[in-house]
Structure formats: C-alpha cells, structure tokens
Structure 1
Amino acid sequence: MYPHHDDACLPDTPIRTVTARLGDAALCYLAGTLDFDTARPARTALHRAMLLPCPVVCVDLRDVDFFACAGLNELLDCRAEALRTGRTLVLIAPSPPVLRLLLLSGTRHLFAVSRDVRLALAAYRPNTPPRARERRTNTNGADPEGLTLVMLVKAR
C-alpha cells in the first residue's frame, strides 16, 4: 500500500499528514500544528490508520510543533477506538509540546510511547506477551521533567 497524503493538507496549511501500512502496523504521521483548526485533517488521518487491518497503530508525533487540547482529544478518541477493537496504539517520538500537554493533562500514562517505529513494531507485535512488551525505567532515579523513559525490549 502506498502512503496516503491527505488532500486537504496543501503546502501552505499548518498540518501535514501521511497514513501508511508498515508490515503489521498502521502508521499515521502528523506534523505541524495540531489545534482546533487542524483537528479535522488529523482526525481523518487517524481514522484512515484505524481502518487498516493492523494490530498495532503507530502515531508519529516527532514533528508536531504546536499541540492543543483538540489534538489531545483526537489521540484520546483514537486510543478509545484501539481499545474497543483490541489493538495497540503507540505514540512515536512525541515532540516536547505533545509531551507537555500529556503531562499537564495527566494523560501520559494512558499511552504507550516508543522512540521509533522499528522498536514499537518489535515490542508490540501481536504475539508478544504483555510483560515482555515494555520495561519502565528511570536511569538514575531522577527525572527532571517528570517523564518516564520507556525502554522497549524484544521478547524472545
């Protein structure tokens, strides 16, 4: 399947989206501004990813430079759909604005996070036992930003 670029996202719009299938995962790439004005194209891209018959849905947020509550609501809706359909939603490399709102809203713990798609696919493949999927660590006991680092480990 070829990546799908949202037709509504012309070069001068504040959001860019791409939806594609990568093996056992659906990938939704969001970049730019995610707020009330851009929620519709983001929702369309996320919905397109959820329609793909994949057990893992990865949402790449590394290039989101502004993230408002409308963007968070779209992620929460996508998470609810993933839970209802028995799939795993993984946020890929959330940018600082995304992490900030997740932390401020108290919703960070609701999402699996990975630093890249390859690690997410290795850790969240369908037959991976839940306990082997992730190991939460805090490297030296101190975490100045209050973030929990997630180290994904490959199950054997």
Structure 2
Amino acid sequence: MTNLPADWPYLLVQVVQRPGRAVSVTGHGEVDMTTVHAFSHTLSTVLRQERPLHIDVNLAEVTFMDSSGINALMACRAEAEPTGCRITISHPRPMVHRVLTVTGVNQLFGL
C-alpha cells in the first residue's frame, strides 16, 4: 500500500436498510472526481439489487462535493425514476448545501 498524503480525498459509503423498502446511503468524506465512482456505483447497486421505493442520501458527513457528485446524483435520479424510486438528500453541510442550491439540484431532491 502506498502512503497517501493526510489531505488525500477519501470516501466511505454506508448503506442501511430501512423499513418499507427504504434505504439510507450515507457518505463520509469527499465526493469529487477521485471518489465519485464509489459513490455512483453504490447508488446504482442499491437501485438494482434492493429495488427500494425510497433512497435517502445522507450528506451529513460529506465535507466536499464537486460537479462530479452532482452528476452522480442526477444519474441516480434518472435511473430511479422509471422504477418509481424516490431519491432525497438529507443533512448536507453548509458548503455542500450551497453547491446543491447554486446548481438548483436541492429542489429536485427535497431540500
């Protein structure tokens, strides 16, 4: 394993089943071009395997999100729409909330 700088972007994505065919997906770290694959792959896998009615994307522990994260959320929304799955975002930190608001994505995800 290589030694990465302490400030190197990381992302841990946690998935928790909720009652009523709902799933909570919680990110921990940064969602940017270096970590977005894990984020989008997790969301897509949850949609395909669990077939939930609702996915809540909890961003309370996401410290940074760039346009690649926004694109991943939009792709997930597009993939979920034909299945009837509702995607919401909850608890974004102020900086992430600002990115979501400036791009207009906040309204699409129930913020």
Per the normalisation by structure 2, the TM-score is 0.83
For the aligned residues, what is the CA RMSD? 1.6
17, 25, 45: which one aligns with 1:28 = 25
SS at match of 1:37: coil
TM-score (norm 1): 0.61
Structure 2: gaps (5+ residues): 1-7
Q: Which 4+ residue blocks in structure 1 deviate beyond 2 angstroms? A: none
Q: Give, in angstroms, the shift of residue 13 of structure 1.
A: 6.1
Q: Which residue of 2 aligns with 1:147?
A: none
How many residue pairs match? The answer is 102
Instruction: Provide the residue aligned with 2:13 in structure 1.
Output: 17
State the Cα deviation string for residues 85-125 of structure 1 (Å, max 9, x = none).
11111112122122111111122211114xxxxxxxxxxxx
Which of 47, 67, 86 does residue 84 from structure 2 map onto? 86
SS in 2 for 1:33: strand
Would you say the 8 A contact 1:55–1:86 is kept in 2?
Answer: yes
- TM-fit CA distance, 1:44: 1.5
Higher helix share: 2
Listed as ranges, the matches of 1:1-150 within 5 Å are: 14-24=10-20, 25-51=22-48, 52-113=50-111
CA contact (8 A) 1:20 1:49 kept: no
Query: Over alpha carbons, which structure has the higher Rg?
Result: 1
Task: Give the 3 Å change call, closer, same or farther, for CA 48–20 of structure 1 in structure 2.
Answer: farther
Q: Secondary structure at the match of 1:94?
A: coil
Higher relative contact order (CA 8 A, sep 6+): 2
